[in-house]
Amino acid sequence: MKTINDILAAIKPTFLQGTLAGQEYPAGTFFTFWNYDSSEEYYSNKPAKLIRYYWVYCYSEDPKELEIDLNAAIKALRSAGYIVEPATDIATDEPTYTGKMITVISMETLEV
Amino acid sequence: MARLKLQFDAWKELGESLDKLGGDLKATTEEALIKSHAAITPGIVAAFGKHNDTGTMMGALRDKSKVEWEGMTASIPIGFDISAGGVASVFLMYGTPRMAPDRKAYNAIYGGKVKKQINEIQMDVFKKAIERAMR
């Protein structure tokens, strides 16, 4: 399964959430992401499935570009096998940028 | 701003049972929501309170909420009123490009343990109401 970073970086600049401390935001549109939870499912007392939960954020100076790039990301993530939930707005701390976020889930079958 | 509703698995079935027994479904619903709110708000204060530089965010905490009804659906505001200065809570929970998310802050409102706690409290309130109605 392609990583979320690789999928998003193929569309627009991508960073781990929180790693732009002290920096200007990139011009235009960019993505950030964060793996906020993980869990395992067991079969016969052995871990059989690894589930990871991510927040993927899209920030842009242009709301129209944001929609275009986020939709491209959603399509690419689903094609790569990720489960993607509908987008919601997210507050930004930079007044000239708007943001949206999606929850993305990956399920990986482990060798039992 | 988040809202607590009845969320444990069997709430519809228990609600119907209580109603059939002549119990006060409205009062029981409100009690379940108020008790859930009271149980998790201290955790929210603990998780977010350490980020209280100006007092603006904590001033927007919905710690004295009332149950609100929309038709047959009840809910109680929980967490922070974004329009009243609580937007920083969003930054803390979800982060910003310049600040990583605070997991404890997020879990204090949306975490699995909190959801389980709310479910148990609400189910307990309904079960006790049914027991009273059966007497």
State the Cα–Cα distance between residues A51 and B100, nearest whole angstrom. 21
Interface test with B, best of A36, A56, A57, A103 (most B CBs within 10 A): A36
Q: Do A36 and B101 touch (CB under 8 A)?
A: yes
More confident residue, B63 or A53: A53
- At residue B96's C-alpha, the angle toward residues A97 and A87, to 5°, is 70
How far CA A107 is from CA of A37, A52, B15, B72, B111, in Å, comes to 12, 7, 36, 38, 20
**Count of CB atoms situated within 10 Å of the CB of A100:** 20
DSSP chain A: ---HHHHHHTTS-EEETTTTTTSPPPSSEEEEEEEEEEEEEEETTEEEEEEEEEEEEEEESSHHHHHHHHHHHHHHHHHTT-EEPPPEE---SSTT-EEEEEEEEEEEEPP-
By C-alpha distance, the chain A residue nearest B91 is A91
**Chain B residue numbers touching A34 (CB-CB < 8 A):** 94-95, 100-101
Residues from chain A contacting residue B82 (CB–CB below 8 Å)? 91
Question: Each residue of A48-89: pLDDT tens digit?
Answer: 899 999 999 999 999 999 999 999 999 999 999 999 999 999
User: For residue B11, what pLDDT band results from cuts at 50, 70 and 90?
Assistant: confident
Indicate yes or no: CB of A30 within 8 angstroms of CB of B91.
no
Q: What average pLDDT does chain B have?
A: 91
Integer Cα distance of B98 and B86 in angstroms = 19
Q: What is the pLDDT of residue B82?
A: 85
Output the pTM of the full model.
Answer: 0.85
pLDDT band at A91 (very low <50, low <70, confident <90, very high): confident
pLDDT at A10: 97
User: Which of A36-40, A64-68, B3-7, B49-53 shows the lowest mean pLDDT across its residues?
Assistant: B49-53
Of B90, B91, B97, the CB nearest to A59: B97
Mean pLDDT of B60-66: 88
Q: How confident is the model at residue B53 (pLDDT cuts 50, 70, 90)?
A: confident
- Subunit contact A17:B95, Cβ cutoff 8 A: yes
Substitution target in B91, B96, B102, B115 with the highest count of A β-carbons within 10 Å is: B96
Write the CB contacts of B33 (distance below 8 Å, at least 6 apart in sequence). Answer: B4, B5, B6, B67, B74, B75, B76, B122
Residues of B in contact with A20 (CB under 8 A): 97-98
Q: Which residues of A touch B (CB under 8 A)?
A: 15-23, 25, 30, 32, 34, 36, 55, 57, 59, 90-94, 101
- The confidence score (pLDDT) of residue B63 equals 85
User: Tens digit of pLDDT for each residue in B86-120?
Assistant: 888 999 999 999 999 999 999 999 998 999 999 99
Name the strand (E) or helix (H) holding B115: helix B112-134
Average pLDDT over residues B38-60: 89
Cβ proximity of B14 and B124 under 8 Å? no
Chain A touched by B101 (CB under 8 Å)? yes
pLDDT in tens, A4-55: 999 999 999 999 999 999 999 999 999 999 999 998 888 888 888 999 999 9
Residue A109 near residue A49 (C-beta atoms within 8 A)? yes
Look at A112 and A61; give whichever has higher pLDDT: A61
- State the helix-helix crossing angle for B103-110 and B112-134, rounded to 10 degrees: 20
